């Protein structure tokens, strides 16, 4: 083959796991290409890198694909903005520095931890998630979509591949605990920040952190259960994680492409300047609503079934094991509940502030319907969301070969959730209610005095209404920021990982640079003195070492 | 036999003393003179070793040392001094007393390194080697403690003397190495001489402080 180590060549092999992730990758690639990225060669290099990682059968090809993906996506982020790209490339280098030694180790806990560090940094697992809300919104929408929907999945694929397949025989229960802890932290911080951020794309990126956390929690429960021989919980955890990956790979690219269209049409994605977009862009609004339903993990949406399974898995894990595990998994249930609630809040806030109500700026009022290509891509993703949302049993059946590959003895209980009859019932009720309203309701509109928080009919001198009568995105999130944010965020409202990890690292780096600069600025005599001192120190060490 | 060694050690000691006095000397003319005497003693040591080891190559080494280092280079250095009119004392970057103390410490280091690590080797040249290493380190110290470019060159040449001293004390050292080292020193001297003239043209002084100042301001 044309790549690979000299004398060994490149090995590609497609098994069920690779096929599943390639299948997750395919629709969003089509949608991103339709959204206008098909002209970019770097984009296709990015896709090629992801495909190569997924299809790799040897460590070298895997790493090659992974780094090709990183490099190409860095170039694509660089098109958007420079600072996030620099942060991103720093994290990518860190992840490479963990992964490359890891894949050439011969098993063991160190290898697993390095894999989780390297691939987890790339996937956005806490505490190495700080780059994701900055880097994902920067590039063009199609790339953001593929980074959020595809690239983090590829990183998770690496964790699954090594955690379950390569190191499957030597797995320890605490390995799963590591994944669960990191995932729970991601869920909490991602959901909270999604509730508080005001940029549409940043909200989506934070929600990605949350969903990566959910997948990691599922994987962690499964890995722990597998190591402990609890086959039912292992099956549930894997079902939850993989179904979540499938669903997230559909609605998150949809939302990102939609955000790109909003930016294209309005000129900004700051929620504080949007509003009322559903009237100007009805099709886009409808598609975004479908995506938001997935993000919120509401019943009948694509995001509910995985969360439902994850709850079952967590309850199953909480019912077994020692006292610490029981308490820990019960706390995990609380974290998952908080995460789900915050996710609903974030989705409602995103759609309600951005698309409902009155426009908050002239640009939002003058928005026009999105272009054809992106809308077609979004419609494709939304159409694929329907079977995931309404027929999760079918999807789970399709996933069972993958789960058997990861855990041959897994027990796969049937899903106790049948959304299709529910949807039919809900539709019947809705049609009946509409009919009753139509038949017996009051015709025409009535004007009532302004009581709705001042949100009445706009006065003639302010055709779009007074912007200050509408809650802003910041104001909407403020109660949450006060109630929960104070405890979880760093003082000042920053991301704790940024404040407690990134800032000290930056300071350390600055100090190193200053030191290097001082050496570089040294005069000739000082340099001579450095070399001289080094020589003397060496001689002294030699002499003392020999003498003793 | 004992006479051979005591004479060789005597000459090595003389070279070391001169290397040491190079460190405490502030005037360029005196530094050149000390260097010249050091080179003379070095060539004498080479001749003596050649006689003692019955080695023609060492005579050649001595001859080259005599011609290039004891005669040609001092003449060139004195010409530069005369040309630049540098009769006054040159600036040191460190008090002389302090550099002398450090020099003593360096000799201690050299002895500490050489004596134990060559314990298993031939005991023939151990002290010689320690002396040579001391001379090398002292030359380096001169280079780092002087601000004047010419003084640094003298330090460099003194370092090279130490190397040659080590080479002649070692039986079986190929002649080509010494020859090429000597040539290298000559070439380096020529290059640096040209360079000095350029510095002088630009800054009116050979004190490198000006150069460092320019370098700092340029950034």
Q: In this structure, is residue A74 part of a structural domain?
A: yes
Residue with tokens 């090279």: B160
Interface residue B215 vs chain A (CB under 8 A)? yes
Q: Are residues A510 and A380 in the same domain?
A: no
Instruction: Determine the structural domain holding residue A532 and report its residue range.
Output: 497-547
Q: Are residues A151 and A264 in the same domain?
A: yes
Question: Are B81 and B32 contacting, i.e. CB atoms less than 8 angstroms apart?
Answer: yes
Q: In this structure, is residue A454 part of a structural domain?
A: no
CA of B120: which chain A residue's CA is closest? A546
On the CB side of A148, how many CA atoms lie within 13 Å of its CA?
38
Lowest mean pLDDT among A24-33, A111-120, B5-14, B131-140: B5-14
Distance in angstroms (rounded) separating the CA atoms of residues B19 and B14:
9
Residues of chain A with Cβ-Cβ distance to B137 below 8 Å are 535-536
Which among A270, A380, A286 is positioned nearest to A28, based on CA atoms?
Answer: A380
CA distance B116 to chain A (A): 6
Select from A409, A432, A467 the last residue of a domain.
Answer: A409
How many CB atoms sit inside 10 A of residue B43's CB? Answer: 25
The CA-CA-CA angle for residues A403, A385, A215, to 5°, reads: 40
Question: Are A202 and A133 contacting, i.e. CB atoms less than 8 angstroms apart?
Answer: yes
Residues of chain A with Cβ-Cβ distance to B212 below 8 Å are 523-525
CB A525 to CB B113 under 8 A? no
Q: Are residues A507 and A405 in the same domain?
A: no
CA of B148: which chain A residue's CA is closest? A525
Question: Are A183 and A177 contacting, i.e. CB atoms less than 8 angstroms apart?
Answer: no
Interface residue A525 vs chain B (CB under 8 A)? yes
Question: Are A54 and A442 contacting, i.e. CB atoms less than 8 angstroms apart?
Answer: no
Q: Are residues A325 and A185 in the same domain?
A: yes
Q: In this structure, is residue A427 part of a structural domain?
A: no
Which one of A519, A533, A547 would you mutate to disrupt binding with B, by most B Cβ within 10 Å of its Cβ? A547
Residue A235: C-alpha distances to residues A260, A449, A518 (Å): 37, 58, 58
Region A119-139 average pLDDT: 91
Interface residue B194 vs chain A (CB under 8 A)? no
Give the pLDDT of residue A447: 67
Distance in angstroms (rounded) separating the CA atoms of residues A72 and A507:
29
Helix then strand count (H, E) for chain B reads 9, 0
Q: Are residues A196 and A64 in the same domain?
A: yes
Please, which pLDDT band fits residue A148 given cuts at 50, 70 and 90?
very high
CB B141 to CB A532 under 8 A? yes
Distance in angstroms (rounded) separating the CA atoms of residues A470 and A488:
28
Picking from A521, A536, A542, the nearest residue to B117 by CB comes out as A542
Please, which pLDDT band fits residue A54 given cuts at 50, 70 and 90?
very high
Between residues A443 and A199, which one has the greater pLDDT?
A199
Which one of B102, B104, B109, B152 would you mutate to disrupt binding with A, by most A Cβ within 10 Å of its Cβ? B109
Q: What is the pLDDT of residues A502-515, one digit of tens each?
A: 889 999 999 999 99
Q: Are residues A402 and A512 in the same domain?
A: no
Q: What is the pLDDT of residues A163-191, one digit of tens each?
A: 998 888 888 889 999 999 999 999 999 99
CA distance A547 to chain B (A): 6
Residues of chain A with Cβ-Cβ distance to B93 below 8 Å are 525
Please, which pLDDT band fits residue A59 given cuts at 50, 70 and 90?
confident
On the CB side of A517, how many CA atoms lie within 13 Å of its CA?
8
Q: Are residues A26 and A157 in the same domain?
A: yes
Lowest mean pLDDT among A465-469, A485-489, B73-77, B93-97: A465-469
Q: Are residues A537 and A401 in the same domain?
A: no
CA distance B87 to chain A (A): 23
Which one of B105, B144, B215 would you mutate to disrupt binding with A, by most A Cβ within 10 Å of its Cβ? B144
CA distance A514 to chain B (A): 15
Select from A409, A443, A460 the last residue of a domain.
Answer: A409
Q: What is the ipTM of this complex?
A: 0.79
Distance in angstroms (rounded) separating the CA atoms of residues A262 and A254:
12
CB B113 to CB A539 under 8 A? yes
Residues of chain A with Cβ-Cβ distance to B133 below 8 Å are 539
Q: In this structure, is residue A198 part of a structural domain?
A: yes
Q: In this structure, is residue A365 part of a structural domain?
A: yes
Per-residue pLDDT of chain B (219 residues; tens, 9 = 90+): 567 777 888 888 899 999 989 888 888 888 999 999 999 999 998 888 888 878 787 888 888 888 888 888 899 888 888 877 776 666 677 788 888 899 999 988 888 888 766 665 555 567 778 888 899 899 989 888 887 778 888 888 888 888 888 888 776 666 666 667 777 777 777 777 777 777 766 666 666 666 667 666 765
CB A539 to CB B110 under 8 A? yes
Which among A197, A116, A106 is positioned nearest to A163, based on CA atoms?
Answer: A116
Interface residue A523 vs chain B (CB under 8 A)? yes
Give the pLDDT of residue A518: 83
Q: In this structure, is residue A417 part of a structural domain?
A: no
Residues of chain A with Cβ-Cβ distance to B147 below 8 Å are 525
Q: Are residues A389 and A509 in the same domain?
A: no
Q: Are residues A404 and A502 in the same domain?
A: no
Whether the bond into A127 is cis, omega within 30 of 0? yes
Residues of chain A with Cβ-Cβ distance to B208 below 8 Å are 523-525
Select from A409, A431, A461 the last residue of a domain.
Answer: A409
Q: Are residues A396 and A537 in the same domain?
A: no
CB A525 to CB B208 under 8 A? yes
Q: Is the pLDDT of residue A1 over 50?
A: no
Distance in angstroms (rounded) separating the CA atoms of residues A26 and A42:
17
Distance in angstroms (rounded) separating the CA atoms of residues A290 and A435:
24
Q: How many domains does chain A have?
A: 2
Q: In this structure, is residue A256 part of a structural domain?
A: yes
Give the pLDDT of residue A160: 94
């Amino acid at each position: 083959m044309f790549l690979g180590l000299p004398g060994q060549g490149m090995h590609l092999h497609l098994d069920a796991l690779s096929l599943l992730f390639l299948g997750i990758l395919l629709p969003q690639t089509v949608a991103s290409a339709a959204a206008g990225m098909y002209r970019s060669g770097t984009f296709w290099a990015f896709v090629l890198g992801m495909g190569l990682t997924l299809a790799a059968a040897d460590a070298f090809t895997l790493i090659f694909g992974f780094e090709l993906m990183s490099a190409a996506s860095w170039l694509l982020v660089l098109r958007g903005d420079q600072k996030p790209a620099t942060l991103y490339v720093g994290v990518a280098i860190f992840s490479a520095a963990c992964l490359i030694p890891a894949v050439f180790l011969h098993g063991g806990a160190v290898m697993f931890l390095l894999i989780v560090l390297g691939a987890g940094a790339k996937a956005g697992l806490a505490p190495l998630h700080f780059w994701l809300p900055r880097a994902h919104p920067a590039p063009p929408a199609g790339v953001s979509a593929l980074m959020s929907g595809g690239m983090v999945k590829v990183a998770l694929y690496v964790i699954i591949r090594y955690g379950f397949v390569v190191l499957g025989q030597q797995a320890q229960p605490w390995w799963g605990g590591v994944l669960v802890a990191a995932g729970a932290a991601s869920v909490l911080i991602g959901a909270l920040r999604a509730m508080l951020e005001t940029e549409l794309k940043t909200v989506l990126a934070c929600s990605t952190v949350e969903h990566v956390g959910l997948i990691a929690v599922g994987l962690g429960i499964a890995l722990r259960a597998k190591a402990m021989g609890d086959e039912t919980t292992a099956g549930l955890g894997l079902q939850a994680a993989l179904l979540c990956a499938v669903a997230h790979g559909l609605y998150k690219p949809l939302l990102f492409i939609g955000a790109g269209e909003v930016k294209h049409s309005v000129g900004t994605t700051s929620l504080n300047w949007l509003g009322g977009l559903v009237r100007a862009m009805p099709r886009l609004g409808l598609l975004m609503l479908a995506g938001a339903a997935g993000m919120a993990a509401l019943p009948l949406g694509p995001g509910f079934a995985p969360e439902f399974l994850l709850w079952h898995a967590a309850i199953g894990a909480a019912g077994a094991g020692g006292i610490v595990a029981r308490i820990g998994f019960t706390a995990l249930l609380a974290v998952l509940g908080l995460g789900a609630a915050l996710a609903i809040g974030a989705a409602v806030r995103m759609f309600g502030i951005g698309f409902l109500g009155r426009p908050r700026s002239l640009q939002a009022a003058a928005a026009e319907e999105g272009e054809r290509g992106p809308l077609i891509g979004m419609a494709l993703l939304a159409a694929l969301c329907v079977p995931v949302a309404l027929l999760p049993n079918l999807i789970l059946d399709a996933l069972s070969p993958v789960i058997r590959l990861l855990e041959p003895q897994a027990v796969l209980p049937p899903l106790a959730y049948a959304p299709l009859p529910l949807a039919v019932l809900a539709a019947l009720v809705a049609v009946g209610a509409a009919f009753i309203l139509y038949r017996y309701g009051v015709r025409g509109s009535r004007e009532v005095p302004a009581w709705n928080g001042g949100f009445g009919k706009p006065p003639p001198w302010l055709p779009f209404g007074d912007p200050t009568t509408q809650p802003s995105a910041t104001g909407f999130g403020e109660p949450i920021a006060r109630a929960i944010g104070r405890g979880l965020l760093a003082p000042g409202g920053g991301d704790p990982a940024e404040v407690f990890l990134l800032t000290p690292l930056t300071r350390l780096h600055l100090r190193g640079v200053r030191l290097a600069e001082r050496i570089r600025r040294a005069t000739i005599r000082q340099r001579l003195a450095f070399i001289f001192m080094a020589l003397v120190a060496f001689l002294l060490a030699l002499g003392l070492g020999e003498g003793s | 036999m004992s006479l051979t060694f005591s004479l060789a050690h005597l000459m090595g000691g003389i070279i070391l003393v001169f290397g040491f006095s190079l460190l405490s000397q502030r005037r360029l003319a005196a530094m050149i003179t000390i260097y010249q005497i050091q080179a003379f003693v070095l060539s004498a040591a080479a001749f003596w070793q050649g006689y003692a080891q019955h080695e023609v190559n060492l005579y050649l080494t001595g001859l080259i040392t005599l011609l290039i280092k004891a005669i040609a280079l001092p003449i060139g250095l004195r010409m530069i001094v005369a040309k630049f009119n540098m009769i006054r004392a040159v600036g040191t970057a460190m008090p002389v007393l302090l550099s002398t103390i450090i020099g003593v410490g360096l000799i201690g280091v050299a002895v500490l390194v050489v004596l134990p690590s060559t314990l298993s080797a031939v005991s023939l040249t151990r002290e010689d080697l320690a002396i040579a290493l001391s001379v090398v380190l002292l030359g380096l110290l001169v280079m780092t403690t002087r601000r004047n470019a010419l003084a640094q060159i003298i330090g460099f040449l003194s370092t090279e003397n130490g190397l040659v001293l080590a080479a002649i004390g070692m039986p079986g050292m190929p002649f080509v190495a010494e020859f090429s080292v000597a040539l290298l020193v000559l070439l380096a001297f020529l290059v640096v001489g040209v360079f000095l003239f350029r510095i002088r043209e630009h800054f009116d002084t050979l004190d490198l402080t000006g150069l460092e100042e320019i370098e700092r301001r340029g950034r």
